[in-house]
Amino acid sequence: MTNRTKRKSFICAINLKGEIKEMKRASGILLPIFSLPSKYGIGCFSKEAYQWIDQLKEAGQSYWQILPLSPTSYGDSPYQSFSSYAGNPYFIDLEALIEEGVLTAEECEEADFGENPDYIDYGKIHEKRFALLRKAYERSNISQNPAYHKFIQENGYWLNDYALFMAVKQRFEGKAWVEWAEDIRKRWANAMEYYQRECYFDIEFYKYLQFKFNEQWTKLKAYANENEVEIIGDIPIYVAFDSADAWASPQLFQFDDNYIPVAVAGCPPDAFSETGQLWGNPLYRWDYHKKTNYEWWCKRIAHCFKLYDVVRVDHFRGFESYYSIPYGEETAVNGHWEIGPGIDLFNTIHKELGQKQIIAEDLGTVTEAVIKLLKDSGYPGMKVLEFAFDPREASDYLPHNYDKNSVVYTGTHDNETLVQWYKGLDKESKAFAEEYINSRTPVKEKYWDFIRLAMMSVANTCITPIQDFMGLGAEARLNHPSTFGMNWKWRMKPEMISDELNAKIYALTKLSVRLSDGMKKVEYKKMQEKILSEQEAKEKVEKEKTAKTKKSTKKAQKIEESVEETAK
Three-class secondary structure of residue 268 per DSSP: coil
Sheet of 277-282: strands edge to edge? Answer: 277-282, 263-267, 321-326, 336-339
Positions in the chain whose pLDDT score sits under 50: 1-18, 20, 22
pLDDT in tens, 498-512: 999 999 999 999 999
The contacts of residue 60 (CB under 8 Å, 6+ apart) are: 27, 505, 506, 509, 510, 514, 515, 516, 519
Q: What is the pLDDT of residue 327?
A: 97
Q: What is the pLDDT of residue 349?
A: 97
Q: Say if strands 381-384 and 310-313 run parallel, antiparallel, or are unpaired.
A: unpaired
DSSP letter string, 40-63: TTS--SSHHHHHHHHHHHHTT--E
Amino acid in position 418 = L
Picking from 323, 315, 282, the residue whose alpha carbon sits closest to that of residue 68 is 315
- Give the span between the Cα atoms of 373 and 339, in whole angstroms: 12
Identify whether the C-beta of residue 211 lies closer than 8 Å to the C-beta of residue 217: no
Could you give the residue numbers annotated as active site?
Answer: 314, 361, 414
Q: What is the pLDDT of residue 7?
A: 34
Beta bridge partners of 63: 28, 230
Q: What is the pLDDT of residue 537?
A: 84
| 400 CB-contact burial (10 Å; exposed 0-12 / middle 13-18 / buried 19+) | exposed
Q: What is the pLDDT of residue 355?
A: 86
pLDDT in tens, 285-315: 999 999 999 999 999 999 999 999 999 999 9
Give first-to-last CA distance, the chain, whole Å.
Answer: 93
Q: What is the pLDDT of residue 568?
A: 62
